[in-house]
Amino acid sequence: MSEDEFVYRREFSAPRELVWRCLTEPAELACFWGPRGMSTPVEGIIVELHPGGRFETLMLGEHGSHRMVARFTEVVAPERLAWVESASGLHTTSTLDDLGDGRTVVVIHQRHVPEAMRAPEARAGFLTSLDKLEQHLAQLRQGDRS
Partner 1 sequence: MPTTIEDQRLDALFTALSDRTRRDIVARLSAGEATVTELAEPYAMSMQAVSQHLRVLERSGLISRERHKQTRPCRLDPAALEAAVSWIEQSRRTWSARMDRLETHLAHRQERES
Binding site for partner 1 (CB under 8 A): 4, 6, 8, 10, 12-14, 18-19, 22-23, 28, 31-36, 38, 59, 61, 63-67, 87-90, 106, 108, 110, 112-117, 119, 121-126, 128-130, 132-133, 136-137, 140, 143
User: Is 114:122 a contact under the CB 8 Å cutoff?
Assistant: no
Shorter beta-carbon distance to partner 1: residue 74 or 132: 132
C-alpha dihedral sign at 14, 79, 95, 116: negative
**Least Cβ distance, residue 52 to partner 1 (angstroms):** 18
**Least Cβ distance, residue 92 to partner 1 (angstroms):** 9
User: Is 20:28 a contact under the CB 8 Å cutoff?
Assistant: no
Distance CA 52, CA 21 (A): 19
Helix (H) or strand (E) holding 20: helix 16-24
Distance CA 135, CA 137 (A): 5
Shorter beta-carbon distance to partner 1: residue 41 or 114: 114
**Least Cβ distance, residue 3 to partner 1 (angstroms):** 10
**Least Cβ distance, residue 144 to partner 1 (angstroms):** 8
Collapsing DSSP states into helix, strand and coil, what is residue 136? Answer: helix
